[in-house]
Amino acid sequence: MTSIKNLGPCGFLSPLQTASSLEIKFRSDSERVLVKHHVDISAPPIRPADASVSSFEVAGPREKIFFDPARTTAGIVTCGGLCPGLNDIIKGLVTQLWTRYGVTKILGFRYGYQGLVQSMGYTPITLRPESVKQIHLLGGSVLGASRGNQPVSEMVDTLEDTGVDILFVVGGDGSLKGAEAISVEIERRGLKKSVVGIPKTIDNDIPYLDKSFGFETAFAEAVKVVRAAHAEALGAPNGIGIVRLMGRASGFIACYAALADGNVDFVLIPEVDFQLDGERGLLEAIRYKIARRKSAVIVVAEGAGQRLMEGYEERDASGNVRPKDIGIFLRDKITGFFKDRKIDLTLKYIDPSYAIRSVPANAQDNFYCQHLAQHAVHAAMAGKTGMLVGRWHCSYVHVPIPFVTSVGRSHVDPHGELWRAVLESTDQPANLI
């Protein structure tokens, strides 16, 4: 279930053996990291060799590689929405391929999977170390990105026509499913091409990852906005600041931003239901907070409270449900609630979503992206395919793409440590129902 597909025997010595005077610590496929790291010492002991013990292959350079660097062409595609760190990943892949492995044929496909469909008319970009040297200072992706499904057969046709041996797919859940479909079609045709994913989601909701790249930057930027909302709330009698943050299905950004700021009164996330009305509902809780402290700050994830709003369900080009605007909804409901009770109110609403996702990565994400890119190249050159690289229990590992995409998204546990910390920090009622 957690085994990684290999294209075949590795017949070339890794160029890393002679590229540096430093001794390289090569990894073997037998080195593993347990999927579940908690142990109940009262239970019977489990041997790591047991089939029931799931583990991930440790990432890192292999002593022998599958591809001959001098004859290898690599391709890079960035898919889905923008996220801090995309350019860092591109730079890391190009630098590692060129300088460490001697792969000098690197193509960047434009605008996500659209760039892999020749009829769309996008010509691939030739990437070199000098052309990507400063791109980590820029937000977004120099290759562009897009949402939406494209014909898998046509994408594989493009890989054949351009001679691409290795495809690096940088994207979220839907993009990784696309990468798996490409890998399956490649295998069906009997081709020897590697597909390696680098998981990307600003919401930090991909399972079996300690974190997604770009998340550190996203919630750090969100904290700045939350602090601005707090200042606005304090600056007027009965002031309320509402900040709507990203988080379609998972409230990690909202939770982390609230904890980091320390001045948030209410956090609303998709995983925890709430009521507006009633003695124990949100509106009464806000009125109590205003009466007691004369101000309140509310942080709401975009996917929270969706059942409270009417309207048609819309989807984006990738088939993801597009959330109704909970921020505007709350703004209007809170304003009307206080107006009906003849209580003067000053409410400021801030939605920084696109500003947060389009900024350059911060230093922590710079560091993380470099490691992910390097490990992705190590895996691809060793002929591994249908997998992604990630960090799990503080170790970099190889994870089969279906193992991740088949279990859905990661969520904030309403009974877990993170949500408990949020409740203790905000002092909001545990159940707004």
Catalytically active residues, by annotation: 203
Are 143 and 125 a contacting pair, CB within 8 Å?
A: yes
Are 5 and 387 a contacting pair, CB within 8 Å?
A: yes
Please choose, from the candidates 319, 327, 275, 299, the residue with its C-alpha nearest in 3D space to the C-alpha of residue 412: 299
Scored b (16 or more CB within 10 A) or e, 219-252 reads bbbbbebbbebbebbeebebbbbbbbbbbbbbbb
Alpha carbon distance 128, 135 (integer Å) = 12
Alpha carbon distance 99, 92 (integer Å) = 10
Are 340 and 284 a contacting pair, CB within 8 Å?
A: no
Are 400 and 387 a contacting pair, CB within 8 Å?
A: yes
Give the side-chain half-sphere CA count within 13 A for 338: 21
Sheet holding 266-268, edge to edge: 266-268, 295-301, 239-245, 346-350
Place of tokens 């292999």: 62
Cβ atoms < 10 Å from Cβ of 45 = 6
